[in-house]
Chains A and B, each alone.
Chain A
């Protein structure tokens, strides 16, 4: 059940990046899409480790 969903979403997200690039979208939007793909890949590992969790934390900018 989960694997087909993951595959579809990853394919959609990956397909979104060249589409955004081709339409001259702002770099930060493309970066967001790329980071979403990266994040998704990180999040769905099988074993939870501290390094993995720490890599998901974000820092405040104000």
Chain B
């Protein structure tokens, strides 16, 4: 039973930590092993009775998949996931972590849920394999479809398969059993709440209703593409398979900084199935862990990996910058006007509180990696990219392809998470394009999980020194922030941002950056804000503590908006704020605490075109070249059109993510919903106007006298009516097209305020924090779809909890290697870490326009959790994530910053 690998058998060699050659390829510096052993004869094969020797080569064998007997040809090393996706075209099972940590690849093997990425395909021969595609008629499919159990949707097929097994084992699972049963599936968007609801419904149990019954235009239906996502039919860039497609991958520097000493290109080129190997001379001096020092393109991902190993790259680690604290000198003394102003302001303070906060680097960890597929045609190209900016991605491909935009047909109909990190084509898209041109074959380049952590963007870390004064009534009179932002190997991307939710008086805000030998930051859902919110909201609570006041009173006194004061009152009632005890006084070792945080967001963005096509059949198709990063862009097209035309949403199609559609905005800054909703309504109005004109002509009346309501055309002041379908049959050509361009004047009224409350349990013996309940109250103007709105709110909270408790990039201090570049040691919140979440859509009659919610809904979560932890413990944890190590240290130090 021993998996005794032979590493220990090699002769020990002397390697000191710095300055010496370090091996990257296995063969370097060790007894040379053939990198690829296929083709060798198995020693002693056939000599052992009862031993069925399969060898190493590709071979045909039978697999029973979804009840059908299929013949596949694969080497023994091929995983079941590889064969399902690359030979059988069953791409519902996803490769996200490739190590059994995320569950995206889950299939049933003889009815038992397993990770297909950790199962050899040959071992599945003779057994019943069931993939998500084989479960379309089984629960929990309907449950998840009814309850909007998907955002980006990339992870959802894995949840469906595991959910199927769970319902088989436990037909009526409790909420706790559902969480435990799904503990092997990760969702980065934070859809857990709706997945739990879907499983409850699928098992015939009641799902608690939210308080948002009629807050939205559409209050019953889920996102329009929910079934495609739940059944695994939705195709992401990672799922695209083209005839003759090649796979590309970068060779990466394994340490923080240093020199690439040597490599063996010939050995790599000799690996069967390898098409192109290139090492980059200009990357000899590597500057960050994950630095792209070359690339390999081959017929299969395995061939590419074999070649990277055969390269036997030798590197010298030297001069890695890995620990921010070693490069941080603290806040400089204030001088001049700024110093005088702050001094004057703080003179009126009854209390002055100070603290130093730190937050760690957080990687986006999109479950679909960054990547692209590019295929050249004659004077044309077709491309697929995993992106939140279809237009920008296509523009970025023009140079590498040498083609003008319209000659590139670009697709991104589904994207497996972006969170701010997926705009242009990036290195993956550029390599795919250049290689497709060079090699004349379709090329797919997707980051592997390690590359995704190293080089897929991140939220920079921060060290924040705060000083804040308040008068005896609790009014804040002045504040000072000095922030050092922990960024990548080049300057840029680091900033702590603050929501304008409290009057802070005169404020001095200086920021610098600390560069480490690591990947560059990229925008991450509310860039700079969660880290700023954590510190600001903590300071508010420290002011309250210093004055002996309730933290909510301090928020009310300093509030910049009555809307948020009302949210405070409502949230306090929902969380049970009256149960909150003075700091640290909850009895027992495990202490309950309550905390609060608030946020808002700006309203900006421009540029969006929409077409609403009304077909003669009465069917309506709405088109936008925008993409859906999981927020429900298609659903906005459909539900706004349905609302404007008064026809059922089932008769309307939402079409996005293709470059031939009218240009849409990039999804950054939470702009998409507002731009798309506003423009869709205008385009629907245009279509309605044209259709009304046809009806008016038919009736021989002035167009102004034709009114459409509830799907019925009426003559104003007359008796004539026409059903929707009858009116559409008047269209003389194939269709009529309503068009609109975004008009700022049509965006209506709305607010973006968010208030959150957390209830936590803090174990003072172990330092382990568990979030028990969260209340999130989000204004968003006129909500379009209740379920997608709630789903996104809960997702914001879940990402915030993950940031508050778990996420931390770990660089090796001496060498700068990233030690947790996987989904095993880089921890994102899983099902058992998800509290009960109460999402409240804060909608008033004055709210008429669609407003952004994606970012404000995640900003104050970590702050609310941190304040709840401080209340429970009686000491503050000044650093995120609040790991057991940090919590125990805070208890030991008595909470001093």
Partners in one complex: no
